[in-house]
Amino acid sequence: MRRGNLKIWVFLLLLASVFTSGGCGGSSNDGAANFAGGSGTSADPWRIATAGQLNGVRNHLDGHFVLTGDIDLSSYSNWAPIGVFVPISEAPEDEETPVIELTFTGVFDGGGHTISNVTINAPESAGVGLFGCVAGTGAVSNLTVANANVQGQMLVAGVIGYGMGSSVENVKLTGNNNIKGAFLVGGIVGGGFCDIVGCAAQANVTLLGDKAQGAGVLAGGMETSDIIDCSATGTVTALGSGNIGVGGLVACAMYSESVLRCTYDVTITVGENNVLIGGLLGYAGIANGAGDSATLISDCSGKAVINAPADAERIGGIAGGGFFVQEYREYISKPGAIRVTNCQTSGEINGGYIVGSVLGYAYDNSSVEGCTSDMKVNGAAAKQVGATLNDITLDDLW
């Protein structure tokens, strides 16, 4: 994911969603009667005890909240996300920057409780999840979401569709979760620019259509985001042609400093001409960077079964490689730099072209150090076990 990826048509699509989402607004001091107590401040957060009170959070988007018990949302046949993502203008440089007043900028503490049975059917919408867009000082923590069935178009997740500078910590996705979308799709976060810490996702994630981008069990496309102490269990399916970025944990960690101490146990199935596929990450790296400016992937481990046709390329047990595709060659002259240390991989990779047990493709600005692998590589056109594959040039990647 990079700035400029979101389509301009999102502006009008999401503007329409503001009027169908059940309302929006900033904080208000008249909310006490609508909740189970509290005043909406950090010292005295509004207390949420019922599904109706949770639905009322959208009317106080910069308030502080805490759950006091488990909540079942099965009475809502099509939940409207809390906080929406509307770009501040139609200009390309603004298309990933939200109108902050429409996003959730408050603090939501789950208190260790569970919100279950979240159903959202919005196949033409963006910013889709229990929370549609969490931005600025917004934070979601200490929350479990169970049994989420969510479909959207882009920025789709069970918990947070789009996280923009927000905090996501100690959030879990458990039970039977099915998340579907065409662009930036994940179990807990669909995509964005926020750190994800201490989170765990169990989900079946599906990337729909052709030339789609970004699917992972934990999160879809993340940029300038650290991923720390997280785990993923489930499946990622991307059967369309020409998809970019499919990862067991996260689709991508673009321009990210580090991915640390994460685990995965996943099955990944991709279609023709898919690129940058990995058990942990589809791709990572700091574009045009090297050495100290590389994304550090350290102390991560897991098992992945990756099934791919012969023309799917750059497939790895940890990551497919650094970001580098034809569509962005005018911006990025070489793959993003990655440094992989002290990682372990297992499982198997069936098929594909340019395949490695750790990195699918390692450019000369990337390295693999102190890693071990029991990954079986079956039927790949070109293989590597360590950090380099000397007979594959950049021109071979088109």
Mean pLDDT estimate for the chain: 87
Residue 329 vs residue 256, higher pLDDT: 256
Q: What is the pLDDT of residue 393?
A: 60
**CATH number for domain 10-21+107-397, candidates 3.30.1490, 3.30.2310, 2.40.128, 2.160.20:** 2.160.20
Q: In which band, very low, low, confident or very high, does the pLDDT at 28 lie, cut at 50, 70 and 90?
A: very low
Delimit the domains of the chain by residue range.
10-21+107-397
Nearest by Cα to 359 from 272, 266, 284: 284
As given in the structure block, the two tokens for residue 113 are 């409780």
Pick from 14-18, 28-32, 102-106, 228-232: least confident: 14-18
Residue 395 confidence (pLDDT) above 80: no
Pick from 83-92, 157-166, 335-344: least confident: 83-92
Distance CA 272, CA 210 (A): 10
As given in the structure block, the two tokens for residue 283 are 């791709």
Q: In which band, very low, low, confident or very high, does the pLDDT at 31 lie, cut at 50, 70 and 90?
A: low
Phi-psi sector, 235: left (phi>0), alpha (psi -120 to 50), beta? beta
Q: What is the pLDDT of residue 136?
A: 92
Evaluated on CA atoms 282, 286, 290, 294, the torsion sign reads negative
Q: What is the pLDDT of residue 90?
A: 77
SS (H, E, C) the chain: CCCCCCCCCHHHHHHHHHCCCCCCCCCCCCCHHHCCCCCCCCCCCEEECCHHHHHHHHHCCCCEEEECCCEECCCCCCCCCECCCCECCCCHHHCCCECHHHCECCEEECCCCEEEEEEEECCCCEEECCEEEEECCCEEEEEEEEEEEEECCEEEECCEEEEEEEEEEEEEEECCCEEEECEEEECCEEEEEEEEECCEEEEEEEECCCCCEEEECCEEEEECCCEECCEEEEEEEECCCCCEEEECCEEEEECCCEEECCEEEEEEEECCCCEEEECCEEEEEECCCCHHHCEEEECCEEEEEEECCCCCEEEECCECCECCCHHHCCCCCCCCEEEEECCEEEEEEECCEEEECCECCCCCCCEEECCEECCEEECCCCEECCCCCCCCCHHHHC
pLDDT in tens, 299-310: 999 999 999 999
As given in the structure block, the two tokens for residue 138 are 């917004």
Mean pLDDT computed over 190-194: 95
Pick from 7-11, 130-134, 209-213, 286-290: least confident: 7-11
Q: What percent of the chain has pLDDT over 70?
A: 85
Q: What is the pLDDT of residue 289?
A: 57
Q: In which band, very low, low, confident or very high, does the pLDDT at 2 lie, cut at 50, 70 and 90?
A: very low
List the 154-157 sheet strands across, edge first.
126-128, 154-157, 183-186, 213-216, 244-247, 275-278, 313-316, 353-356, 383-384
Pick from 14-18, 120-124, 239-243, 317-321: least confident: 14-18
Beta bridge partners of 346: 303
Residue 131 confidence (pLDDT) above 60: yes
Residue 329 vs residue 41, higher pLDDT: 41
Q: What is the pLDDT of residue 67?
A: 98
The radius of gyration computed from the CA coordinates of the chain, to the nearest angstrom, equals 20
Q: What is the pLDDT of residue 258?
A: 96
pLDDT in tens, 50-82: 999 999 999 999 999 999 999 999 999 999 999
Nearest by Cα to 105 from 77, 76, 84: 84
Mean pLDDT computed over 103-112: 97
Terminal-residue alpha carbon distance, the chain = 19
Q: In which band, very low, low, confident or very high, does the pLDDT at 19 lie, cut at 50, 70 and 90?
A: very low
Q: What is the pLDDT of residue 3?
A: 39
Q: In which band, very low, low, confident or very high, does the pLDDT at 292 lie, cut at 50, 70 and 90?
A: low
Residue 106 confidence (pLDDT) above 90: yes
pLDDT in tens, 327-386: 777 777 788 899 999 999 999 999 998 899 999 988 888 889 999 999 998 877 667 654
Residue 83 confidence (pLDDT) above 80: yes
Q: What is the pLDDT of residue 118?
A: 98
Residue 1 confidence (pLDDT) above 90: no
Mean pLDDT computed over 78-106: 86
Q: What is the pLDDT of residue 10?
A: 41
Report in angstroms the alpha-carbon separations of 63 from 22, 27, 56. Answer: 17, 6, 11
Whole-prediction pTM: 0.90
Residue 32 vs residue 86, higher pLDDT: 86
